[in-house]
Structure 1
Amino acid sequence: MLHLNNNIMDTIKKIFGIMLAFALFTINAVAQDKAAEGAKAVTANMKEQLSLNDSQYTKVYAINQDFLKKAMENKTTAKTRIEKAKRLKALDEERDAKLKSVLTEEQFKIFVANKAENRKKIRQYFQEKAEEQGM
């Protein structure tokens, strides 16, 4: 009887492990989709503001996607508001450094000047998406 219970428990543990792995994979995939979608919107806006060429657009899109993915992860992994803010600031500085290496000096100046407005647009974009999905 004990042997049978151990087999059942092992099976339940395996099933639970598979379900957990599937849930984590799904959550990660959704976060990546949101990051990609957000990066497209942000980068399209930057292309218009900064007159990005095709090569710059591709690089800026990758930078934005990486930034948004990490920012979304930060929302769930950081434990306090202060920790979230510090991590987000560090991510923002990392993103700026990467963008500075891709953009011309004039484009980067425009980017910095428009940064506050761009943040509002990002928030608004994600808020509208959340409302569309009934969140």
Structure 2
Amino acid sequence: MANKSPNTNKIIELARLKSHETEKKVFNAIKAMIKNKEKINYNSVSIKSNVSKSFLYKNSSIRGKIDMLRGEQLKLEKVTNHKPNTSDKSKDVIIETLKGKIENLIKENESLKEALASKYNNFYNNL
């Protein structure tokens, strides 16, 4: 005769403990990847922590962390637009060009303000 109500509490507790240890292992791998400035996605975290991708997708806290970090890395990749091999001379040329553009824009802005002021003056004088 089979036991109709087996005591599985210990098995459930051990499974929960194993899952918790695996989470720690994944978070440690993510921290190491951040320190090493490695690309973070499900595949790379899975390989680095030696955990299945399905575990990463099923665990909501890990999934949220990976999604957040992956989004941040995408933003950082878009922001970095400088060329690392530019010389000081080319940087100086770029700076001078930008200064000239700024001066032209300032002059244009002042002339537009003066034109607007004269238009307002004419408008109020004609009232």
Q: Which has the higher contact order (CA 8 A, sep 6+)?
A: 1
| Higher Cα radius of gyration | 2
* Greater helix share, structure number: 1
Give the TM-score, by structure 1 length: 0.33
